[in-house]
């Protein structure tokens, strides 16, 4: 299979697999005081320090969670309390669902945040919490987090960055760009599913969403998922060949355009591994199935949500609602192999030719 759905989940890194096994062989609950517990605690704290080091944060400001859905919800709960919450219109459902009353900040046609609109909203709500994704999961479009951070700082607002798709692929220093906090999810960069983190700026207090045994210094109750946390830390240390991956992505993109595709967010800076391709007049699920039959895994629409294919709010927010049901996301994994672009190009061209032919014949 040619796996091109890395934004749903990246293949596990070998170092992460080893870390899972080592953690599973470590007897003990990190909260226990005996020697076994202390060994588990040591693993947990080493992982916390590794995350802090990679993300330019302090270890005590890293709160492990079950993933980014929980980390985003925790950020909004803890850092948005008593504040107006502003969210970009292309945010992930985990942000949208956690802030149902949020004030939307529009994006431009290329999917980047409308900074003038943000400034107007910040003038109205100076102590807001702005939630902004570093990179969009469907289009790969990067927001200008540094610019948003400067605007938030100028008004006294807080900025929470959903860094899920960017961590491990581009910049890691979100606090340095002005974020008060950011969320990450281990399986999105080759760790194991089941662990993520909320990382905050120095001294921010986190009121827990889940209370319990007082774990994570009272900020997140529940026994931490140690194997997945160890995998997260191990995966974060792995190199990412952005240029190699972007070269494959660019070749796939060129081939798809030649076959009739339109690139969503084409004018914006994007992740190296992602392209969202609309094929006008051809349903996304039909494209996905045709590619699946050719042994190629891509996703349609916001496909990280439980297999359902719904019209994408991301493309609608970019003024591309008409193409929303006709776009697939191609997201290359860290270990994409030589020859992948050629294989994709051939399958995509064949799919497009078959799908578009009957219409041409009728016309």
Which stretches of the chain bind ligand PMP, using CB under 6 A? 67-69, 92, 94, 133, 137, 162, 164-165, 185, 196, 304
Token couple for 212? 């319990």
Q: Are strands 274-278 and 327-331 parallel, antiparallel or unpaired?
A: antiparallel
CB of 68 to ligand PMP, least distance (A): 4
Q: How far apart are CA 136 and CA 133, in angstroms?
A: 6
CB of 9 to ligand PMP, least distance (A): 8
Q: Are strands 129-133 and 85-88 parallel, antiparallel or unpaired?
A: parallel
Q: Which is nearer to ligand PMP, 196 or 208 (CB)?
A: 196
Q: Which is nearer to ligand PMP, 148 or 355 (CB)?
A: 148
CB of 222 to ligand PMP, least distance (A): 15
Q: How far apart are CA 127 and CA 199, in angstroms?
A: 20
Q: How many CB atoms lie within 10 A of CB 251?
A: 15
Per the listing, tokens 């939630």 go with: 131
Q: How far apart are CA 35 and CA 322, in angstroms?
A: 61
CB of 304 to ligand PMP, least distance (A): 4
Whether 91 and 99 have beta carbons less than 8 Å apart is answered as no
Q: Which is nearer to ligand PMP, 66 or 180 (CB)?
A: 66
Instruction: Indicate the Cα dihedral angle 135, 45, 218, 188, nearest 10°.
Output: 20
Taking CB atoms, the residue at the shortest distance from ligand PMP is 67
Q: Which is nearer to ligand PMP, 69 or 172 (CB)?
A: 69
Whether 228 and 20 have beta carbons less than 8 Å apart is answered as yes
Helices (H), the chain: 14-24, 35-54, 68-79, 93-98, 115-124, 145-155, 226-236, 242-258, 284-293, 313-317, 340-362
Token couple for 179? 């974020």
Q: Which is nearer to ligand PMP, 61 or 70 (CB)?
A: 70
CB of 258 to ligand PMP, least distance (A): 29
Q: Which is nearer to ligand PMP, 40 or 288 (CB)?
A: 288
CB of 291 to ligand PMP, least distance (A): 20
Q: Which of 108, 107, 115 has the alpha carbon at shortest distance from 146?
A: 115
CA 25 to centroid of chain Cα atoms: 30
Q: How far apart are CA 83 and CA 79, in angstroms?
A: 8
CB of 166 to ligand PMP, least distance (A): 9
Q: Which is nearer to ligand PMP, 137 or 180 (CB)?
A: 137
Looking at the annotation, which residues are catalytic?
A: 304
Long-range CB contacts (< 8 A, 24+ apart) of 122-126?
122/86, 122/151, 122/152, 122/154, 122/155, 122/157, 123/155, 125/83, 125/84, 125/86, 125/157, 126/155, 126/156, 126/157
């Amino acid at each position: 299979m040619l796996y091109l759905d890395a934004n749903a989940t990246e293949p596990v890194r070998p170092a992460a697999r080893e870390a899972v096994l080592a953690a599973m062989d470590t007897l003990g609950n990190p909260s226990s005081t005996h020697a076994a517990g202390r060994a588990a605690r040591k693993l947990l704290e080493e992982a916390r320090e590794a995350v802090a080091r990679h993300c330019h944060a302090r270890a005590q400001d890293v709160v492990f969670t079950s993933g980014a859905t929980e980390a985003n919800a925790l950020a909004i709960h803890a850092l948005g309390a008593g504040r107006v919450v502003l969210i970009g219109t292309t945010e992930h459902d985990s942000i949208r669902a956690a802030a149902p009353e949020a004030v939307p900040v529009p994006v431009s046609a290329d999917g980047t945040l409308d900074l003038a609109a943000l400034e107007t909203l910040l003038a109205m709500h100076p102590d807001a919490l702005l939630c902004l994704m570093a990179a969009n999961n469907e289009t790969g479009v990067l927001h200008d987090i540094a610019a948003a951070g400067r605007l938030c700082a100028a008004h006294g607002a807080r900025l929470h960055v959903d860094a899920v798709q960017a961590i491990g692929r581009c910049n890691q220093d979100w606090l340095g760009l002005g974020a008060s906090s950011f969320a990450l999810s281990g399986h999105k960069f080759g760790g194991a599913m089941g662990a993520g983190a909320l990382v905050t700026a120095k001294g921010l207090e986190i009121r827990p969403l889940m209370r319990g045994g007082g774990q994570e210094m009272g900020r997140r109750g529940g026994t931490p998922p140690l194997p997945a946390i160890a995998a997260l830390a191990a995966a974060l240390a792995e190199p990412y060949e952005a240029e190699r991956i972007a070269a494959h992505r660019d070749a796939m993109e060129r081939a798809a355009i030649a076959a009739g595709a339109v690139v969503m967010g084409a004018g914006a800076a994007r992740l190296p591994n992602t392209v969202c391709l609309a094929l006008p007049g051809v349903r996304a699920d039909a494209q996905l199935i045709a590619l699946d039959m050719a042994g190629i895994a891509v996703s349609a629409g916001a496909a990280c949500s439980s297999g359902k294919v719904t019209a994408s709010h991301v493309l609608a927010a970019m003024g591309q609602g008409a193409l929303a049901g006709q776009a697939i996301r191609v997201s290359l994994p860290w270990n994409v192999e030589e020859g992948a672009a050629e294989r994709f190009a051939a399958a995509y061209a064949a799919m497009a030719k078959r799908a578009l032919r009957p219409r041409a014949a009728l016309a």
